[in-house]
Amino acid sequence: MNLGDWLAKLPPLHSWDGEKTWCTGGFDAEHFQQLKTFCATHLPTQPRILETGAGNSTIFFLFLSPVRLVSIEPNAGLFERIRSYCDAHDIPTNSLEAYSEGSEWVLPRIGGEAGAMPFDFVLIDGCHNFPNVFLDFFYGNYVLRPGGYIMIDDIQLHPSRELANMLGEQPEFELALDLGKALVFRRQPTASARTLGEWNSSPYIVRRSKKYEPGLRTRLRQMFQRS
């Protein structure tokens, strides 16, 4: 199977109602088509890719012939469906490293690999709650090469939107692609630091924190007056 045939009929790999009904997931063919054009232009011929969450995004990344594809998703059955589909349609999965665990446990191990080559592209699409989105970003950014790309999906959800808002003002990052439901940011080639540093190095946090300062000072003053 080639990419065009797959795009024409994405497989229904997900069920949100106890396997009563099935769907193809959050990305549709138009999203993948835009991402295909982007990756062909900006990624190496055989990229190194990491994703939290899995599904048709995993199959899409396999079509890019990655030298390494790390996919982290607690639902082992989803990986079984992905592999079954790929086997049935002659899509090689030899580069896929599937982890059926929470990303909060797997990513620290990936980050601690001695001598591991950094990743070219990271997709954050796992648990969409606090603090998981930011944990995925912390470790994803830690293993991302300078000049690499990090994609945040489902920005209509508050935790993902907050992360996107922060990166939108972060000097080390620039918006590279807007898919509507997802944003791709590029880490500047000169940004060798693997973490963002303290809060005062993030313009978004500094700006947003100012709204709390007057109220905080008032409450502290009241506390000391009562004591």
| Structural domain includes residue 201 | no
Q: Residue written as tokens 């950094």?
A: 118
pLDDT band for 226, please (50, 70, 90 cuts): low
Residue 218 lies inside a defined structural domain of this protein: no
150-195 per-position pLDDT tens digit: 999 999 999 999 999 999 999 999 999 999 999 999 999 999 999 9
Q: Which domain holds residue 83?
A: 3-196
Q: What is the CATH number of the domain that holds 24?
A: 3.40.50.150
- Over residues 100-126, the mean pLDDT reads 95
Region of poorest pLDDT, from 26-40, 138-152, 154-168, 205-219? 205-219
Higher pLDDT: 219 or 23? It is 23
**Assigned domain for 210 exists:** no
Cβ burial of 19 (10 Å; 0-12, 13-18, 19+) is exposed
Inside any domain, residue 119: yes
Q: Is 209 domain-assigned? A: no
Domain count for the chain: 1
220 assigned to some structural domain: no
- Report the pLDDT value the prediction gives residue 70, as an integer from 0 to 100: 98
User: What gap in Å lies between CA 83 and CA 75, rounded to an integer?
Assistant: 13
Strand, coil or helix: 194: coil
Residue 224 located in a structural domain: no
* Residue 164 placed within a domain: yes
Q: Which pLDDT belongs to residue 209? A: 87
Query: What proportion of the chain, given as a percentage, has pLDDT over 70?
Result: 94
How would residue 71 be classed by pLDDT, with cut points 50, 70 and 90? very high
Q: How confident is the model at residue 220 (pLDDT cuts 50, 70, 90)?
A: low
Pairing of strands 68-72, 48-52: parallel
**Residues 153 and 160 sit within 8 Å (Cβ to Cβ):** yes
Alpha carbon distance 6, 13 (integer Å): 13
CB 138 within 8 A of CB 170: no
Residue 85's CB is within 10 A of a number of other CB atoms, namely: 18
pLDDT at position 215 is 65
What pLDDT score was predicted for residue 213? Answer: 74
- 68 forms beta bridges with 48
The answer to whether the peptide bond before residue 47 is cis (omega within 30 degrees of 0) is no
The pLDDT, as a whole number, for residue 212 is: 79
